Structure 1
Amino acid sequence: MLLRRHGSLLGSSLNSLSTRPILCSQCHHHRYSTGPPQNIAVIGGGITGLASAYYIAKEQPTARITVYEAGPRLGGWLHSSHVEVPGGRVLFEHGPRSLRPGMGALVTTTLIQELGMIPDVIYTDKTAASAVNRFIYYPDHLVRLPHPTTDSMLEIAFSILREPLFSGVIPGLIGEAFRPTRPESLDDESVASFFARRLDPRIPQNIVSAVLHGIYAGDVNQLSIRAIFPLLWTLEKQGGSVIGALATRRPEDNITVPRRDRELLAETKKVLDPEFMVALGKASIFSFRNGLQQLVDRLAEIVAGKKRVTTRLDTPVTHIELEEAAGGDKKIKVSTESESQTYDMVVSSIFSKKLSELCTSDSKTLLPELAKTHAVTVMVINLFYTNPKLVPVEGFGYLIPQTIPFQQNPERALGVIFDSDSIKGQDIATGTKLTIILGGHWWDGWSTYPTEEEGIAAARSVLQRHLRITDEPVAAQAKLQKDCIPQYTVGHISRMKQTHTRLMHRFKGRLRVVGNSYTGVGVNDCIRASRDIAQDLDQYNQKSGLEAIPS
């Protein structure tokens, strides 16, 4: 998950628009006739699986919980490492490196407080250069995105009129309210199609594709507008146009903040430490002194300390099936290479396509919609230089749109993060720290990927061409993250609704799904979904984790 207002590699100028599918928990439910489940398996030991185990243990303190992790470590894509360099030590993040405060982080911040981690939080102020200076590379130079809190209207207008990147923005905005609304029969469309239809075809290809390279590493022509920007989809339906809906809304409508979010905000304000809340309000992003893995390590420590929780590393699950138990009750069997165990309930946090492979009968998947899920692969390259003044500008970093000519981006880079600017307080050495992200949808269909040496060479080539950096790094690492970011392609919401129906029919509410394959790819999204699923475990035959409603 490269760039997201919830746990990102890069920030987004569009983060005021919700990028989470709309969920609903406003239905009535039946209870287990024999009480809540007492024997529960959690599949996957990443941040979602760990958070799920933590919240389940909190909600059901008498339940026995087993966490299955296929690999040798917990944390999944959250992975931080310390590297010795001349003059001290630096922190390299090989996945998400920061969290964004706000509505999306309400559960995360409460969790941080519960874990006693507030003293370890480090903040980047909203007025810092990395907060107000964010760039897109187009067509052959860095273009700073206007920032409404620091730039005057004259400066914003001058930038829009001068830079080719913003071609189509002014006429697109002027004409949006007068363009015809979508046909009633249109159930979904690509992000590129929506922005081209409502604004101008150049906007999605130049600007929005860069932003989504940072969030999903995905193709703007394939990603779903209904799943990625549900608010825009809803506004057009409500008002005939986005601008029309915003212009005619009443303050009491609260169409930009769903009721479940308003309720959560009120709940959070009652329990969150006031000083912590004030600090978060001043921050554009935040992290921890030892990186985001510090959150993983603390969660793992708390979970391991609970007597009724067992964590099994290097134990991949090979099959999941529902079976009839004594007295006609339903149980769910989890098989590994060495044994099988039955549980009252299973919570799966693994990649949805992998889950579909585990849930089979007569060699056919019971969850065919999940089998269609695609995820992209990226390579994250971390470089450190002793020269502290290497980058010609101050800021968070830059993203690269799909329209950049091949000769300007033959390495298929998605973006570059200026780590030394974006988060301060994690390193004990002076210099310049950069992260380059390669691949994503550009690598779709590839059977082999660059080696670590090839990735580092490609990253240095990007920096030389774009930023004229030719220095030799004193530390360099490259990590391939295979199938790390699920793609919410056109039809995602419909597929999830169909999967909900199949889960209820095939598994009778005993298999719940959670994680970045479903309702948001960011760390904040996953933590919130983990809490929600734990609170609903005692609702019989009604929940799947996919209680999504169309916007």
Structure 2
Amino acid sequence: MMMANYDSVVIGGGIGGLAAAYTLYKRGYRVLVIEAANRVGGVIHSITTPEGFTLDCGPNTIGTNDVRLWQELIDLGLRDRIRPAARCGRRRYILINGTPIEIPSSPVGLITTRLLSWRGKLRVLGEPFVNIGTPTGEESVAAFFSRRIGHEAVAHLLDPFVAGVYAGDPNQLSAAAVFPSLWEAVQRGGSIVRGMLRRPKQKTLISEPKMRSRTFSFQGGLADWPRAIARALGTGNVWTGRRAVGLRDLGTYWEVTVDGTGRLETITTRSVIIATPAYVAAELVEALDPAAASALRSIPYAPVSVVHLGFRRDQLSHELNGFGVLAPSSERRQFLGILWASSLFPHVAPPDRVLTITLSGGAIRPEVAEQSEEALIESAIRDNQEVLGIRGQPLLTHVTRWHHAIAQYTLGHRERIATLERLEQRRPTLQLTGSYRGGIGIPKTWASGVGAGERIAAALDAQGTTADTLEQARG
């Protein structure tokens, strides 16, 4: 049964899919978003508890210097709901021998830090002068940085950073895929520093506006953003609780089969954007391109559990003055990091309360994320007490478990993405977007979605038809 005609159907209502849909919507195209869950946002999920805590159950901050993103938030009417991070958020810590030690943010800080021995510091500072041959093949993150800054810096600085941001194993992640600018710098200049200094300047005819990087959230948590996009698109143009189960290329248009209302529905559209996790996208493109489907299935995801703990402020033995603390794998702790949510954003907790977020699991110890809720809470409480000096039991506990939390850019990732790009080149009215390409952070996922929307807009413009002509095409 033919239900409706659209210029584009976006499969997946996370921030990437919503960004693609909104990009097309602003250009006057008729867009439909199909989301399998009963809400939009994907891993961006915020709730407010009866106790007055605001919990971000996935990502909890946005950091960007992208003027386009900032302007979009204003266009969506979110200016008054933006909550900037406290200045103390610039202070971040790494756990060494059970003690949080501040990460240096300047050359002077690097010289005085207790995170590295003098030998380790000299190895880092000597990076521009280390003349080591560049491997011709692909290299892991651990191998790449061990060559450039030494094993000690990798163990004490890089390992916890990769675990905290990517939930990844530095021995398995691709340096070229995870840190493309640093990888290219070494190829260009023989070292990270020399290569960055030799980076060619981009010439622009018009001076582009610039802004300093800002870290922020929203009054109701990060979910304020995807909810605002969904409202802008209109209720009838965002279907939640419905799953796309089939995709057919019929030449002049596409057919998308949707399940979720007790029957299968077939939708016709001029273009399709797949904005689901890679393993879901694989099922949709299997009949179109088995090689692309195989590449998508080869992208692993690391599981992560998120435990929110709320305490009375008088339970603190000292102020939590910073963003949080990360744990290197050498510390053999249960957690990847403990974030000090209410220090960064005071509005997420009542004035006399504090809120922490304990993250565990990841690619190195995935089994930790799959423990029972009781075990996760018990472990989080113990780590908060031992590492942060918090006394007593929490007033609030909340567990969120993400079985497929963060895409892993493992060795061979660039070749997998190249396979997807070849599919898109053959079928320009089909685009794929998501955190598995272009970067895992929320701003990068948003930018990937915007890019997919812009490529679809170009393909639709080239066709020179409208959604209304699909009725004739069907005949």
Q: Normalising by structure 1, what TM-score? A: 0.76
Q: Which of 278, 298, 318 is the aligned partner of 2:245?
A: 318
Q: Does 1:513 align with 2:417?
A: no
Using the TM superposition, give the Cα deviation of residue 83 of structure 1 relative to its aligned residue in structure 2, in angstroms: 1.5
Provide the C-alpha distance between the structure 1 equivalents of 2:23 and 2:314, rounded to a whole number of angstroms.
43
Cα distance per residue 1:82-136 (max 9 Å; x no partner): 1133xxx12111111111132xx332201111112112211125xx2222x2100
Alpha-carbon separation, structure 2, partners of 1:167 and 1:379: 36
- Seen in structure 2, the aligned counterparts of structure 1 residues 175 and 116 have a Cα distance that, compared at 3 Å, is closer
Aligned residue number for residue 92 of structure 2? 134
Deviations 1:8-37 (A, max 9, x none): xxxxxxxxxxxxxxxxxxxxxxxxxxxxx9
Q: 1:43 corresponds to which residue?
A: 11
1:403 has 2:403 as partner: no
1:244 maps onto 2:198 in alignment: no
Matches within 5 A, 1:141-540: 141-148=99-106, 153=108, 156-159=110-113, 162-164=114-116, 168-174=120-126, 176-183=128-135, 185-186=136-137, 188-246=138-196, 249=198, 253-254=200-201, 266-268=207-209, 281=212, 284-304=214-234, 310-323=237-250, 329-337=251-259, 338-361=264-287, 366-388=292-314, 390=316, 392=318, 393-404=320-331, 406=332, 409=333, 411=334, 413-444=335-366, 446=367, 449-505=370-426, 508-540=427-459
Moved more, 485-494 or 496-505: 496-505
Question: Is 2:317–2:391's contact at 8 Å kept on the other side of the alignment?
Answer: no
Distance in 2, matches of 1:425 and 1:486, equals 30
The CA deviation at 1:374 is 0.5
**How many angstroms apart in 1 are the aligned matches of 2:413 and 2:24?**
27
Which residue identity lines up with residue 80 of structure 1 in the other structure? S
In 2, distance between residues paired with 1:542 and 1:232? 37
1:96 aligns to 2:59 (yes or no): yes
* C-alpha contact 1:189 1:225 (8 A) present in aligned 2: yes
Structure-2 separation of matches of 1:352 and 1:491 = 15
Counterpart contact for 1:224–1:488, Cα < 8 Å: yes
Match 1:108 to one of 52, 61, 69: 69
Call closer, same or farther: CA 1:172–1:427 in 2, change over 3 Å.
closer
**Count of equivalent residues:** 453
Deviation at 1:297, TM superposition (A): 1.6
Classify the secondary structure of the residue corresponding to 1:535: helix
Following TM superposition, by how much is the alpha carbon of 1:503 offset from its aligned partner in structure 2, in angstroms? 3.5
8 Å CA contact 2:111–2:121 kept in 1: the answer is no
1:124 to 82, 85, 89: 85
Letter aligned with residue 336 of structure 1: V
Task: Tell me how far apart the structure 1 counterparts of residues 120 and 461 of structure 2 sit (CA, whole Å).
Answer: 47
Q: Residue 56 of structure 2 aligns to which amino acid in structure 1? A: E
Q: 1:72, 1:212 → 2: CA distance?
A: 32
2-structure distance, mates of 1:77, 1:499:
23
Establish whether residue 64 from structure 1 lines up as the match of residue 16 from structure 2.
Answer: no
Which structure has greater helix proportion? Answer: 2
Q: Deviation string for 1:361-398 (max 9, x for gaps)?
A: 39956532111010111111111111256163411101
The separation in 1 between residues aligned to 2:288 and 2:216, in whole angstroms, is: 48
Shift of 1:41: 0.7
Paired residue secondary structure (2:394): coil
SS of residue in 2 equivalent to 1:403? helix
Write the letter of the residue equivalent to 1:464. Q
Tell me the SS of whatever aligns to 2:185: helix
Root-mean-square deviation (CA, aligned residues, Å) is: 2.8
**Aligned residues of 1:217 and 1:485 also touching (Cα < 8 A):** yes
Distance 2:285 2:181 in 1: 33
- Answer whether contact 1:181 1:236 (CA < 8 A) is retained: no
Alpha carbons of structure 1 residues 207 and 163: separation in structure 2 relative to 1, 3 Å: closer
Secondary structure of 1:317's aligned partner? strand
Shift of the 84–388 alpha-carbon distance from structure 1 to 2, 3 Å rule, reads farther
Shift in Å, 1:215? 1.3
Q: Is the 8 A contact 1:385 1:473 kept in 2?
A: yes
* Identical residues among aligned pairs (%): 24
- Residues of 1 paired with 2:24 and 2:440: CA distance? 21
In structure 2, do the counterparts of structure 1 residues 396 and 514 end up closer, same or farther at CA, with 3 Å as the change threshold?
Answer: same
CA distance in structure 1 between the aligned counterparts of 2:119 and 2:184, rounded to whole angstroms: 26
- Mapped to 1, the partners of 2:92 and 2:134 lie a distance apart of 33
Where in structure 1 are there 5+ consecutive unaligned residues?
A: 1-36, 270-276, 324-328, 544-551
Tell me the secondary structure at the aligned position of residue 42 of structure 1. Answer: strand
Q: Aligned letter for 1:49?
A: G
Contact 1:331/1:342, CA 8 A, preserved across alignment: yes
* Separation in structure 2 between the aligned mates of residue 236 and residue 448 of structure 1, nearest angstrom: 36
- Output the TM-score relative to the length of structure 2: 0.88
- Once the two structures are TM-superposed, the CA of residue 157 in structure 1 deviates from its matched residue by 2.0
Distance 1:291 1:388, change over 3 A: farther
In the alignment, the residues of structure 2 paired with residue 483 and residue 121 of structure 1 have an alpha-carbon distance, to the nearest angstrom, of 28
The code of the aligned residue for 2:244 comes to V
Cα contact 1:377–1:443 (8 A) shared by 2: no
Letter in 2 for 1:432: V
Q: 1:205 to 1:361 in 2, by over 3 A?
A: same
The 3 A distance-change label for structure 1 pair 449 and 209 is same
1:268 shift after superposition: 4.6
SS at match of 1:520: coil
Structure 1 position 198, deviation (Å) = 1.7
For structure 2, the residue ranges without an aligned partner over 5 or more in a row are 463-475
Matched to 2:218, the amino acid is: F
Show CA shifts across 1:495-528 (max 9, x none).
Answer: 21122113334xx222101121111111111222
- Paired with 1:290 and 1:538, the residues of 2 have a C-alpha distance of 32
Match of 1:77 in 2: 43
Quick one: distance in 2 between partners of 1:439 and 1:515?
Answer: 22
Equivalent residue for 1:26?
none
Residue in structure 2 matched with residue 30 of structure 1 by the alignment? none
